Amino acid sequence: MSAVSKEMIPSSQNVSQAIQDIAKGTGSQADELVDISSILNYFSEELDNIVKSIKNVDVNVRDINNKAEVSEKELEQLYESINNSLATVISKVSNLDDRVKK
């Protein structure tokens, strides 16, 4: 029995070493998974920031577009008003010219 015990000691040591190696590997994998999780959380936060920035750009572009449309309408009204004023001035100058000629 003593001989069997002596033969089992190296096997037990090998099993023990294998279990320790597995434990170290599992711990290392767990650490790496924690690192990956942290990186993915950071990436997610950055993506959220990008989405917020894109939404802000969209809001600003829509605001600029609305202001441009309003400005275009105001310019059209101003152009029409100037044309009407010039037509009135031309008409009055023409009438004055006709009166002066009489």
Spatial neighbors of 56 by CB under 8 A, at least 6 apart, are none
Predicted confidence at residue 98, as pLDDT, reads: 80
Query: What is the pLDDT at residue 93?
Result: 92
The pLDDT of residue 48: 99
Residue 54: the pLDDT is 99
Locate the DSSP E strands across the chain.
Answer: none
| DSSP-assigned letter for residue 1 | -
Domain span at 30: 1-102
pTM of the model: 0.59
Identify the pLDDT of residue 4: 65
Tokens 């309408």 found at: 73
pLDDT of residue 68: 98
Looking at residue 74, its pLDDT comes to 98
Query: Which pLDDT score, from 0 to 100, does residue 1 have?
Result: 65
Give every residue of the chain whose pLDDT is below 50, as ranges. none
Number of domains composing the chain = 1
Whole-number Å distance between alpha carbons of 27 and 33:
10
